[in-house]
Amino acid sequence: MYVCICNAVTDKQIRKAAESGVKDLWDLQRELGVAAGCGSCKEMASEILGESRLAKARFEPVRYQPAAA
């Protein structure tokens, strides 16, 4: 689905950017140009980015580190 019509950016591109380390709308704007034109996609792009980052955080493995004795 197209999120940013001005720059032809899709939700898949936003999710992929989140996986590669994009953390906020400013990073997303720099990477893909989202919300750099009319700005009507800003809210949707932020929502998709947030969902993607949250999903990634849920499935990140946690490494066990024993306490120093």
Full residue range of the structural domain in which residue 37 is found:
2-58
User: Considering the domain boundaries, does residue 67 fall inside one?
Assistant: no
Q: What is the pTM of this model?
A: 0.76
User: What CATH number has the domain bearing residue 53?
Assistant: 1.10.10.1100
Using 50, 70 and 90 to split pLDDT, how confident is the model at 14?
Answer: very high
Output 69 or 32, whichever has higher pLDDT: 32
Mean pLDDT calculated for residue range 10-16: 95
- Give Cβ neighbours of residue 56 (< 8 Å, ≥ 6 apart): 18, 19
Residue 66 lies inside a defined structural domain of this protein: no
Q: Using an 8 Å Cβ cutoff, are 6 and 38 in contact?
A: yes
Structural domain total, the chain: 1
Tell me whether residue 69 is in a domain: no
Q: With respect to residue 63, please indicate whether it lies within any of the assigned structural domains.
A: no
pLDDT digits (tens, 9 = 90+) for 19-56: 898 999 999 999 999 999 899 999 999 999 999 877 76
Distance in angstroms (rounded) separating the CA atoms of residues 2 and 5: 6
